[in-house]
Amino acid sequence: MDSAILSATSALIGSLMGGLSTFSASWLTQHRQLRSQFLLQQAVGRETLYAEFIREAAKRLTEAWSKQAQEPEVIAGLYAAVERMRLISSNTVIESAEHVIRKVVEAYADPNRTFDDLRNGLMSGNIHLDNPLKDFTVACKAELHALHA
């Protein structure tokens, strides 16, 4: 074979290999960046939804201390948030959210109390505040950490 053809062919193959490796590296880098952005958007969306649920549940729990629910609509926001969670969240998060809703309903069913009742009960040790949101927040935290990993 002619040495000119051999060196031209070698140069062509070398250029193709270099171009292919550059293209592959660029594609992989772009793919990883897009995946990272997608996961970040997922995490931000979930965090927003969880924060909305926590805010609404805390509001309803404190309101239930001194009021009886007149209509079931008082927990409609909580149910709506849980249904949105069903689209994207783990079963652990959803079960924890459902537990919070049960606690809210129980709190509305309890007799009305005043802030003085709360203060006196806490001071005397007759009232122990459990945190119905604790399991939910722990489950959310674990899920958000898993998204970042």
What is the torsional sign of CA 130, 135, 141, 145? positive
How does DSSP assign the chain, residue by residue? --HHHHHHHHHHHHHHHHHHHHHHHHHHHHHHHHHHHHHHHHHHHHHHHHHHHHHHHHHHHHHHHH---SSGGGGHHHHHHHHHHHHHS-HHHHHHHHHHHHHHHHHHHSPP--HHHHHHHHHHTS-----TTHHHHHHHHHHHHHHH-
| Residue 123: per-residue pLDDT | 83
| Residue 143: per-residue pLDDT | 93
Mean pLDDT per 10-residue interval, the chain, length 149 residues:
76 80 83 83 91 94 83 88 94 96 90 82 74 92 87
Question: Where do the structural domains in the chain lie, given as residue ranges?
Answer: 42-148
| Residue 112: per-residue pLDDT | 84
| Residue 113: per-residue pLDDT | 82
